[in-house]
Amino acid sequence: MHDTLSFITPDPHSAWGTYLSQVDRVLPYLGPLARWGETLKRPKRALIVDVPIEMDDGTVRHFEGYRVQHNLSRGPGKGGVRYHPAVTLEEVMALSAWMTVKNAAVNLPYGGAKGGIRVDPRQLSHKELERMTRRYTSEIGLVIGPQQDIPAPDVGTNPQVMAWMMDTYSMNVGGTATGVVTGKPVHLGGSLGRVKATGRGVFVTGREAARRIHLNLDGARVAVQGFGNVGSAAAEMFVGAGAKIVAVQDHTGTIANPAGMDMGALMEVVRRDGGAGAFTQAERIDDEAFWDTDCDILIPAALEGQITLARANRLKARLVLEGANGPTHPDADDALAERGILVVPDVICNAGGVTVSYFEWVQDFSSFFWTEDEINLRLDKIMVDALRRIWDTADRHKITLRTATFAVACERILMARQERGLYP
């Protein structure tokens, strides 16, 4: 059946392999809609672009960039742009597919898309980063637009990168098109609350899940992998609810303090050094020891494939909140379920970011901006309602929250596909 995409032979632990296995698990719950299931296993459109730029020293370097639109059945493509040295077409395909599922899980009127460039942004000067972003935006200008596909931040990108993307697209079309990207700075049509929205969604879904398993957040011990936009904002909110951060891992190292870390002091070090590794009010530990941390809640908020089977069998947490996209291998997912460790899956747990991106897009179109309180209230309600529906589905079929999220989302996606029909 997989006669196309023959250039990809996914290993079951790769991002795309993980996604395919998640689709296979939901098909039995989709009834007659399952006949459209193959749609979910192929991206609609994948663009590979060459991004040449002049470096500050006068040399020319070429970077490889991608924009994949996995599915547009329910609306324009929506999903972030990643700058990271490990970005590949296959990874971006998986990330775009998870966007399709996530957007449908919270019922946003979007399909799924994702982009990326294989680059270490920390190795570029500010000007080189700007030149690369502008060139990439022009190259993917073929497929993006406020009604076609709307990029946003992901790993290694931020509001400044979104501002350059918005400006480049706008210059190319000859007018200011704020709605072409979200996650912009607030004075350029960005939304209040977007920066912390993903972390907020992780907290809100985590709070609801904790309540259901009678885990008191006051005094709960939390371990966080990845202390960037998502991990740090989620950690701050858990601390605000009385929890303590007992371990943090990022690309600069792993630190632990069973008594809990002072968030203000930790954030200061992260801002100063670009990472948590040098924080002196915690003990520096071996990276692999992170997975043995005595904790109640684990928040993977870095990259895919972090929770392997071996690590899943060592985890001490009762609750795993997937801030990252695709952090858990399928066999590890099974092991966690068998061990009674509850996983709130990425496709609902980290949907807070794209939900506020949707608010931003709506605000840009109407040129009317909401207060931060209005945004947070609407976000919390969408997340809580979506999670409740997913939980009901999980209880009804006796399936994991991940398969239940896929069931709710894929039914919406395939229903749209079916109702639109195929153009003969």
Ligand X SMILES: O=C(O)CCC(=O)C(=O)O
Per-residue x/- track, 267-286, ligand NAI (CB under 6 A)? --------x-----------
**Integer Cα distance of 405 and 398 in angstroms:** 13
Q: Give me the DSSP letters along 276-307.
A: STT-TTSEEE-GGGGGG---SEEEE-S-TT-B
- H-run or E-run covering 197: helix 194-212
> Considering the complex, what minimum distance in angstroms separates the CB of residue 31 from ligand NAI?
30
Indicate which residue of 41, 44, 114, 127 is catalytic.
114
Structure tokens at 236: 């701050």
- Residue 216 is labelled as binding a ligand: no
CB neighbours of residue 285 within 10 Å: 17
If the CB atoms of residues 350 and 376 are measured against ligand X, the closer one turns out to be 350
Contact yes or no for 297/221 (Cβ under 8 A): yes
Torsion of CA 167, 172, 174, 178, to 10 degrees: -40
Residue 230: which of ligand X, ligand NAI, none does it interact with, CB under 5 to 8 A by kind?
Answer: ligand NAI
Residue 155: which of ligand X, ligand NAI, none does it interact with, CB under 5 to 8 A by kind?
Answer: ligand NAI
> Considering the complex, what minimum distance in angstroms separates the CB of residue 349 from ligand NAI?
9
| Residue 244 annotated in active site | no
If the CB atoms of residues 195 and 256 are measured against ligand X, the closer one turns out to be 195
Question: Binding ligand X by CB under 6 A: which of 70, 78, 196, 200?
Answer: 78
Question: Binding ligand X by CB under 6 A: which of 65, 75, 77, 79?
Answer: 79
- 228's CB contacts (< 8 A; 6+ apart) are 155, 250, 301, 302
- Residue 350 is labelled as binding a ligand: no
**Integer Cα distance of 360 and 274 in angstroms:** 27
Contact yes or no for 33/406 (Cβ under 8 A): no
> Considering the complex, what minimum distance in angstroms separates the CB of residue 78 from ligand X?
5
Task: Give the residue among 106, 96, 114, 91 at the shortest CA–CA distance from 40.
Answer: 96
First CA to last CA distance, the chain:
21
Q: Which residues are annotated as a binding site for substrate?
A: 78, 102, 357
Kindly list the catalytic residues. Answer: 114
**Interface residue list for ligand NAI (CB under 6 A):** 153-156, 198, 225-231, 249-251, 275, 301-303, 323-325, 350, 353
Binding site for ligand X (CB under 6 A): 78-80, 102, 152, 154, 182-183, 325, 350, 353-354, 357
Known binding residues for NAD(+) are 198, 229
Binding residues: 78, 102, 198, 229, 357
